[in-house]
């Protein structure tokens, strides 16, 4: 983050996601990145509080003023409460970044009195810096806002700009909810292993290590999943016997198609509500 020209950043909510963000920013400050940090959080993790103190961050200021970027990382149901205090960080030049699931740009804009608003959707592996965060920006956002926001999101992992806010429902259904689909895959693989005769603990260790290792291999090689899948298969072999079932016309593809469509629909419905 050394390319930033000393922006002032206020974070509201330093829980799992906000904490992961701010830990990355603290590192950037330690490496000489010009960031001035303010954090509002009712229950600081003591280690995080100490680290913030060491880089001169301002914690829970009684009388905040406008900053360059206001970042909202409270739970969506806490937003109404947090908005009153958060608004005091907003001035005419403030850009707002929200990582709250399902809160539309319009609602953020109205509640905070800002027109430069970015709505981002991280996912669970962001907690260890291995997530993927997609974001959509309001039309009033400038190129430099987008650049700065993308840099600020980097501690969570990969960052993907999305062309239109309406696509955030699809993002939610794929990368937002997606880790749960993969965890379910590990669970059902373990159950199948148990039914074939392995004891429960061994089955779970094999299944979860397989899912984790396959994901890590895909990430580290950069090879497409279809290429890696073919590396496991040999003609007439065991993998092919399983894939004949999983890749059949009534296999995994139509099932995931329905699951993703259901999640995207729920996201749209919640957005309207
Ligand atoms: N976790 C995920 O996988 C995931 C994925 C995508 C998006 N998100 C979004 O990320 C956001 C944060 O989720 P999270 O898992 O990090 O939640 P979290 O761990 O509960 O963090 C939220 C933090 O905000 C604090 N807070 C509550 N009210 C506040 C207020 N008025 N002012 C300042 N801070 C306040 C909470 O303190 P208390 O604990 O004292 O309430 C908590 O420390 C959510 O909006 C969620 O939709 C999360």
Question: CA Rg, the chain, in Å?
Answer: 21
Atom in ligand 1 nearest the alpha carbon of residue 179:
3
Residues 38, 160, single domain; the answer is yes
Using the mean position of ligand 1's atoms as its centre, give its distance from the Cα of residue 39 in Å.
13
Buried b / exposed e over 41-75, threshold 16 CB at 10 Å, is beeeeeebbebbeebebeeeeeebeebbbbbbbbe
**Directed axis angle between helix 225-232 and helix 200-221, to 10°?**
130
Nearest CA to ligand 1 atom 32: 82
Domain membership flag for residue 3: no
Is the confidence at residue 1, as pLDDT, over 80? no
d(CA 268, CA 220): 34
**Distance in Å, CA 137 to ligand 1 centroid:** 21
Alpha helices in the chain (DSSP H): 16-30, 46-54, 79-86, 105-112, 143-153, 168-171, 178-195, 200-221, 225-232, 238-246, 252-272
Whether residue 135 contacts residue 107, with contact meaning beta carbons closer than 8 Å, is answered with no
Same domain, residue pair 41 and 163:
yes
Which of 23, 74, 97 for a ligand 1 pocket mutation test, highest count of atoms within 8 Å of Cβ? 74
- Does residue 2 carry a pLDDT above 80? no
User: Strand order in 131-137's β-sheet?
Assistant: 58-59, 36-40, 8-12, 69-72, 95-98, 117-121, 131-137, 157-161
Q: Measured between alpha carbons, how far apart are the two ends of the chain, in Å?
A: 37
Q: Which of 168, 188, 222 is the last residue of a domain?
A: 168
Alpha-carbon torsion angle 152, 157, 158, 159, nearest 10: -30
Q: Contact, 19 vs 44, CB < 8 A?
A: no
Per cent of the chain over pLDDT 90 is 92
pLDDT tens profile 13-47: 999 999 999 999 999 888 887 899 999 999 999 99
The CATH number covering residue 243 comes to 1.10.3730.10
48's tokens: 């995080």
In ligand 1, the atom with minimum distance to the C-alpha of 40 is: 33
Last residue of a domain, one of 147, 168, 189: 168
Ligand 1 centroid distance, CA of 64 (Å): 20
The protein residue with its alpha carbon nearest to ligand 1, atom 34, reads 13
Range of the domain at 195: 176-272
For ligand 1, what atom is nearest to the CA of residue 82?
Answer: 31
Domain match, 42 and 76 both: yes
State the total domains in the chain. 2
Residue 104 CA to ligand 1 centre (angstroms): 17
* Whether the model pTM is above 0.75: yes
Quickly state the pLDDT bin for 136 (edges 50, 70, 90): very high
Cα of 112 from ligand 1 centre, angstroms: 18
Same domain, 28 and 69: yes
Ligand 1 pocket residues where CB is under 6 Å = 12-18, 40-43, 73-76, 78, 81-82, 99-101, 121-124, 176
Q: Does 146 lie in the same domain as 22?
A: yes
| Shared-domain flag, residues 202 and 104 | no
Question: Where does a domain end: 143, 168, 193?
Answer: 168
For residue 198, pLDDT over 80 is answered with: yes
Range list of β-strands (E), 56-137: 58-59, 69-72, 95-98, 117-121, 131-137
- One domain for residues 186 and 155: no
CA of 43 to the centre of ligand 1 (A): 11
103 CA distance to ligand 1 middle (Å) = 13
Question: Is the same domain home to 153 and 186?
Answer: no
Burial class (CB in 10 A: 0-12, 13-18, 19+), 191: middle
Residue 1 inside a domain? The answer is no
Of the listed ranges 21-35, 61-75, 93-107, 157-171, the one predicted with least confidence:
21-35
Q: How far apart are CA 234 and CA 89, in angstroms?
A: 60
Q: Please give the Cα distance from 112 to 63 (Å, whole number).
A: 17
């Amino acid at each position: 983050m050394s390319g930033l020209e000393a922006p002032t950043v206020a974070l509201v909510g330093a829980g799992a996601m906000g904490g992961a963000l701010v830990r990355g920013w603290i590192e950037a400050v330690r490496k000489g990145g010009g960031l001035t940090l303010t954090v509002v959080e009712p229950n600081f993790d003591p280690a995080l509080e100490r680290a913030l103190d060491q880089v001169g961050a301002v914690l829970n200021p009684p009388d905040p003023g406008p900053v360059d970027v206001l970042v909202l990382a409270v739970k969506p149901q806490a937003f109404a409460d947090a908005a009153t205090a958060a608004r005091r960080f907003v001035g005419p030049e403030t850009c707002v970044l929200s990582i709250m699931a399902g809160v539309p740009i319009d609602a953020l804009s109205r509640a905070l009195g800002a027109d430069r608003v970015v709505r981002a959707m991280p996912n669970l592996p962001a907690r260890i810096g291995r997530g993927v965060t997609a974001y959509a920006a309001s039309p009033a956002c400038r190129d430099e806002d987008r650049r700065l926001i993308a840099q600020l999101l980097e501690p969570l992992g990969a960052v993907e700009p999305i062309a239109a806010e309406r696509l955030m429902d699809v993002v939610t259904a794929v990368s937002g909810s997606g880790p749960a689909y993969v965890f379910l895959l590990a669970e059902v693989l373990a159950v199948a292993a148990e039914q074939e005769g392995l004891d429960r603990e061994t089955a779970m260790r094999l299944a979860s290590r397989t899912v984790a290792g396959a994901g890590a291999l895909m990430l580290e090689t950069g090879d497409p999943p279809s290429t890696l899948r073919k590396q496991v298969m040999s003609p007439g072999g065991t993998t092919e016997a399983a894939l004949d079932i999983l890749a059949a016309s009534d296999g995994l593809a139509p099932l995931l198609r329905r699951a993703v469509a259901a999640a995207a629909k729920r996201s749209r419905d919640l957005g309207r509500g």
